[in-house]
Amino acid sequence: MVFGLAALISFAIVFASVPPLRMLALRLGFVDRPNQRKIHNKPIPLMGGAAIFVGCVIAMFIFIGFTPLTWTIVTGGTLLVLVGLLDDGAKAKGRDFPVWPRVILYMGAASIPTLFHIRIAGIANPFTDLFISFPDWFSWLTTMLWVFGLINMINFIDGVDGLASGVCTLSALTLLIVALIKGQPSTAILAVIVAGTCFGFLVHNFYPARIFMGDAGATFLGYTLAVIAVDGTFKRATFITLLVPLLALGLPIFDTAYVMLRRLISGKGLHHADKLHTHHILMKWGLSQVQTVSFLYLIAALFALLSIILLLAIG
C-alpha cells in the first residue's frame, strides 16, 4: 500500500508541476534550441529537471523522513540541479558551460554519499561468513567513481524524446524489486519514488516531447540511481551480486562504454558531444524516434530481468 501511494504522489507532483514550469521556461527563453547535432526542429523548454527534483524530494521527506539517505539525495541533488540549470541556461543562450568546472562539481557531488556513510564497504563471500572490508580510501574512491559515472551516463543517453526518463523508470523499478528481495524498505521506497517521478515526467517527455529534463534532471537521476544501488546492492556485495546493479543500469553503462571506445578509436576528446550514441545509430538505420526508444526500452527491460534472475538464482 505504502509503495503505491509513494509512487502515486511522486507521479502527481511531477505531472502537475511540468505545465507551469514549461510555460515559465518559454517565457524566459530557457529552451534547448535546434542545431546540427540535435534531432528536434523547434525550441523545447528545459526546466523539466526542476520538476523531477521537487517531486522526488517532497515524496522522500513524506515517506522516508529525515535520514542519511534522504540528506544524501537532497545535498548532492541540489548541487547537481543548480549546476545543471546553469549548464542548461548557457545552452539556451547558445553557449557551452566550461567542462572542467562541471567535472569538478560532479566529483564533489559524487563524494557526498561517503560523507553520510553510504559507500561500497567491501566484498562478501556468498558461501561463507567472510567479509573483505575495503580500506577507507578505496571505499571512498570506488563509491565516487560509481556515482560520478552514473551522473554522466544518464546524461549521455538523454538524446531522444522519452529515452532517459523511460530507462530511469525501468532501472528504478528494477532496483525496487532488488531492494524488496533483500529486505531494504527505505531503499525500496526511494526507488519507487524515483520510478513515479520519472513516469510523471515521461508523460510530458515522450515523443513529441513538450519539455526536456536537461542536464539538471539527467544528472540528478543518475546520482539518485547510483546512490540507491550503493545503499542497496553495492554496500555489502558479493562477487556475483556486483553484477546486479550493473545489469539493472545496463543500457546507460553499455551505451557509454560503446561511445567512449568509439571516441578513443577515432581520436576525439572523450567529453566532446557527437552522434555516436546507440540511439543516433538506430535512427541512422531508419528507425523513427518512437521505434528507437521502444527498442531501447526492450533492451533495458532485458537487462533488468537478467539482474533480477541473477539475484534470485544466488539468493
Q: Return the number of other C-beta atoms located less than 10 Å from residue 182's C-beta.
A: 17
**Which cell numbers in the block locate residue 16?**
502537475
Q: What is the pTM of this model?
A: 0.93
User: Of 11, 4, 61, 5, which is closest to residue 201 (Cα–Cα)?
Assistant: 11
pLDDT of residue 96: 80
Which domain does 205 fall in, by range?
A: 2-314
Task: Specify the residue for cell string 556475483.
Answer: 240
pLDDT of residue 267: 64
pLDDT of residue 104: 95
**Which cell numbers in the block locate residue 109?**
557531488
Residues 6+ apart with CB under 8 A from 24: 30, 47
pLDDT of residue 197: 98
Q: Considering only residues 303 and 241, tell me which one the structure prediction assigns the higher pLDDT.
A: 303
pLDDT of residue 217: 97
Alpha helix ranges (H) inside the chain? 2-28, 48-63, 68-92, 99-115, 136-157, 163-181, 185-205, 214-229, 243-248, 250-266, 278-284, 289-314
What is the number of structural domains in the chain?
1
Q: Is the pLDDT of residue 124 over 80?
A: no
141 burial level (CB within 10 Å; 0-12, 13-18, 19+): middle
Residues 6+ apart with CB under 8 A from 281: none
pLDDT of residue 77: 98
Confidence of residue 189 (pLDDT cuts 50, 70, 90): very high
CA distance 87 to 76: 16
% pLDDT > 70, the chain: 89
Q: What HEC string does 128-193 produce?
A: CCCEEECCHHHHHHHHHHHHHHHHHHHHHHCCCCCHHHHHHHHHHHHHHHHHHHCCCHHHHHHHHH
pLDDT in tens, 85-120: 999 999 888 888 888 899 999 999 999 999 999 998
Q: What is the mean pLDDT of the chain?
A: 89
Query: Is residue 168 within 8 Å of residue 240, measured between CB atoms?
Result: no
Q: Is the pLDDT of residue 235 over 70?
A: no
Name the helix (H) or strand (E) containing 269.
none
Question: Of 48-57, 85-94, 182-191, 275-284, where does the model show the most confidence?
Answer: 48-57
Q: Is the pLDDT of residue 238 over 60?
A: no
